[in-house]
Structure formats: structure tokens, C-alpha cells
Amino acid sequence: MGRGKLILIEGLDRTGKSTQAGKLAERLGPNSQLIKFPDRSTKIGGLINQYLTDPAFLLPDQAIHLLFSANRWEVAEEIKTHLLKGSNVVLDRYVYSGVAYSAAKGVPGLDLQWCLQSDVGLLKPDLTLFLTNQGSELRQGFGEERYESSAFQQKVREQFSTFFNDFEDQSYKQAHIKVLETSDKSIEQVHDMVWSTTSAFMQEYADIQDFMYF
């Protein structure tokens, strides 16, 4: 039996990631695992949650960046164990969110290169589905959390795109990162796109055993 596949759903806020990650994990069967980042249930996740929801809770940008990264390292071994047992793991956000949101702040020194360092050594997803809803960042009515403003989301979009284009190897990008345009599509229509892309990938790459790392 081959190892399970690590499948990541990424995107800006309000693009339906959590809904789609949940539906994908369900479709992959009872053996699959769904892991969301940030995981607010751990001690580190509690600090992240406070930072996101309480404007009076201040942390240096470098410090909160490292907490988001530490929150991934907390479950790095658990993810690998699931994959080795043959379970597929669906991630709701991961390293790409980590670098894109922090780099979007425009803080001197906090560039993509710096931001990636704390995640170097984490498993790379076998397949990343980047959900994009043209203009999602231009809409009104974002939530109340830190980062949920139209102006900031536009900057995050640019950082995701720079990262995929300039930091990822082009052949890796072609095979392993798929951009799904979801504008004007229903939840079920987007799920169909997610599923057809995932199942085609899993057939083509059924035999991969080696792991890839950031």
C-alpha cells in the first residue's frame, strides 16, 4: 500500500476554503484526516486566536509569524504518521498562507525569503488547490479579524502570486499547484472541480513514495 497524499486547499479569506476542505476530506473517505491552520485549539493556537481577534493584543510581526509557523511544527509528525499509515490528509491553509500574510505587511526585512525560513523542513503538499474568487478581496463585509480588510487582502493576493511564480520550481508548480477559479460557482460546482482535479492527480501519482519538503 502506498503512502497517503497530502492535499492542501489555499486561498484568501472568504474563498470557501474550509467548506471545500471539509467536503474533500469527506469524499476521500473515513480514513482521511482534515487539519486546519491555524489550529486554534493548542496553547500556541490560543495566542494566535487572541492576536487575530483582540486588537489590543499586540505582538511584533516577527513573533506572530513564528507562532503561526510553530503551530504547523506542532503537528508535523502527526501529519507524517497519518500519511505513512496510508491515510490522505487534507490541509486547510498551510505554509503558503504563512508566508503570504506575513510578507504582505510590508515590514522591512519580513520578506518572502525570511518568512519561509521557519517552515523549511516541513512536508510539501503533493497537491495544492489555490481557490481564487476574482475580486473576493474587493467585496465589502469582511469579518472582524485582523487581516480581514480589502486593502490587505489585495496585498496578500500579490504575495501568493509572487511566491508561486518566483519561489516555486516551475516544473513543481505545473504538476503540483492548481489554481481553481471559483467566481459565480456554487459550493457543489466548486466541489466538483476540487474532486475532479484531486482524483485525476491521485490516479496519475498513485505510486509516489518519497516525500517533498519546503
6 binds, among ligand NYM, Mg ion, none (CB under 5 to 8 A by kind): none
Among 16, 25, 68, 91, the residue binding ligand NYM under the rule CB under 6 A is 68
If one asks whether residue 51 binds ligand NYM (CB under 6 A), the answer comes out as: no
- Nearest distance from C-beta of residue 6 to Mg ion, angstroms: 22
Contact 112, 158 (CB under 8 A): no
Residues 8-27 that bind Mg ion (CB under 5 A): 13
Q: Rounded to an integer, what is the distance from CA 197 to the centroid of its chain?
A: 17
Residue matched to cell numbers 508566508:
99
Residue 124 CA to residue 133 CA, distance in Å, equals: 24
Query: Whose Cβ is closer to Mg ion: residue 154's or residue 197's?
Result: 154
> Taking contact as CB under 6 A, which single stretch among the options 83-91, 97-105, 157-165, 168-176 is the one that binds ligand NYM?
97-105
37 binds, among ligand NYM, Mg ion, none (CB under 5 to 8 A by kind): ligand NYM
If one asks whether residue 136 binds ligand NYM (CB under 6 A), the answer comes out as: no
Quote the radius of gyration of the chain (alpha carbons, Å).
17
First to last CA, the chain: 25
Instruction: Give residue number: closest CB to Mg ion.
Output: 13
Residue 171 CA to residue 177 CA, distance in Å, equals: 10
